[in-house]
Structure 1
Amino acid sequence: MKKVALLRGVTPVGQNRIPKMTYLVEILTEAGLENVKTYIQSGNIVFETYLADNAICTLIHDTIKEKIGADLSVVLKEQPQLTTAIIENPFDESYDVSRVHLVFTNDQFSQDKLADLLETDFGDEILRAGSECLYLYLPREAKKKRLNTNYLEKQLHITATMRKLRSVSRLSQM
């Protein structure tokens, strides 16, 4: 089964940096994942395995921590989930597609808390919910910049990671 791991917290420098994606492919292949591919430097991994989801998350987290030293959360999705997320994108062509972000999590969260957030006025920023992810529209000119992964994690008590629509589209096709 094709899976996509989205790493949370990859940084360009410092402790959570992944030096080379080719090395990441190498160590995850050695750890037992098959047909491992990466996309851009921010920690997107496409692979095949028959392991259970929690075993995959542990394997990827522990392998990266042991071999690279980065302590990164792993959000796991299947490619059809990414395709659904793209299809459900609530922002049409009247929005700047480069400012549409998708937020993914492995965690269950309170639908009541989400309903409260969906009712909140974030000014120029927009939050929407789909069946596979949350959608953020973050215009460049937004004054406050309240909507981000850290804010959503605190409000919903989840671990989440955000990707641009273009990246999710590419991952769904790999």
Structure 2
Amino acid sequence: MPRPKTAYILLFRGVGGATQLPVAPLREALTEAGFENVATYINSGNAVLRTHLSREKVIATVAKLCEEKFGFTKAIYAPTLEEWDAVIANNPFPDFEEGKHVHAAVLDGIPTKEAIEALRKHAVEGEAIELVDNVVYLHTPFGLGTSKLGEKFDKGIGVPNTARNWNTVLKLQELAKKAAG
């Protein structure tokens, strides 16, 4: 009996600047590879799809396709819709409506308490960082790009990760719900 179909959110690490992953060709390539209900969101490495494949097979298939068609070789994360719902439910900063100032970073491993504490020392008043399960949440009310906490985050956290602002997190949930059917 085949596995039930699952909606996955694909998060491509490091898209932007010199690394591009064009959304229309990506959408076409994923559909041609047999994935269902494929959608992409903005040109920064986000897609949703539905499949009966396991997460490992989804990542392997998408990684091979992206390398062959686009020369993209960076990490790909594939949380399920249910896991993404938990990312949203676990947000420790629900009072901040400003979606571009709250970020969720999906981690490939759990950082040390020391890494979190070292990053926390870079936060100015009003900024915060919290770890919940395998996601770090950042609140940077003055903007991530101007934040010392934001600047130090990627190297300082000590584990591979990919982050999205809260507006994108919510949009990806909406797209994944549609993909789930």
- Establish whether TM, by shorter chain, passes 0.5: yes
How many residues align? The count is: 169
**Are 2:79 and 1:77 equivalent residues in the alignment?**
yes
Instruction: Give the corresponding residue for 2:11.
Output: 6
The alignment's TM-score, normalised by the length of structure 2, stands at: 0.79
Q: Secondary structure at the match of 1:147?
A: helix
Query: Shift of residue 129 of structure 1?
Result: 1.6
Instruction: Give the corresponding residue for 1:28.
Output: 30
Query: Shift of residue 66 of structure 1?
Result: 0.9
Gaps of 5+ in 2: 1-5, 176-181
Q: Is the 8 A contact 1:82 1:169 kept in 2?
A: no
Q: Is the 8 A contact 1:82 1:132 kept in 2?
A: no
Instruction: Give the corresponding residue for 1:167.
Output: 168
Q: Is the 8 A contact 2:119 2:156 kept in 1?
A: no
Separation in 2, partners of 1:31, 1:169: 26
Q: Secondary structure at the match of 1:170?
A: helix
Q: Secondary structure at the match of 1:11?
A: coil
Separation in 1, partners of 2:158, 2:105: 14
Q: Is the 8 A contact 1:79 1:171 kept in 2?
A: no
Query: Shift of residue 120 of structure 1?
Result: 3.2
The alignment's TM-score, normalised by the length of structure 1, stands at: 0.82
Query: Shift of residue 114 of structure 1?
Result: 4.9
CA RMSD of aligned residues (A): 2.5
Q: Percent identical across equivalent pairs? A: 27
Instruction: Give the corresponding residue for 1:116.
Output: 117
Q: Secondary structure at the match of 1:77?
A: coil
Query: Shift of residue 101 of structure 1?
Result: 0.8
**Are 2:145 and 1:155 equivalent residues in the alignment?**
no
| Distance verdict in 2 for CA 1:94–1:39, change over 3 Å | closer
Q: Secondary structure at the match of 2:85?
A: helix
Separation in 1, partners of 2:143, 2:57: 42
The structure with higher relative contact order (CA 8 Å, sep 6+) is: 2
Separation in 2, partners of 1:78, 1:151: 28
Residues 13-59 of structure 1, C-alpha deviations (whole Å, 9 max, x = no match): x3x2123x121011112223222111111111111122222222222
AA aligned to 2:142 is R
Query: Shift of residue 137 of structure 1?
Result: 1.0
Residues 115-159 of structure 1, C-alpha deviations (whole Å, 9 max, x = no match): 5347535224311122351111112278962333x7444334322
Q: Is the 8 A contact 2:120 2:149 kept in 1?
A: no
Q: Secondary structure at the match of 2:148?
A: coil
AA aligned to 1:26 is E
Separation in 2, partners of 1:143, 1:24: 28
| Matches for 1:10-159 after TM superposition, within 5 Å | 10-12=15-17, 14=18, 16-19=19-22, 21-93=23-95, 96-105=98-107, 107-114=108-115, 116-117=117-118, 120-124=121-125, 125-140=127-142, 145-148=147-150, 151-159=152-160
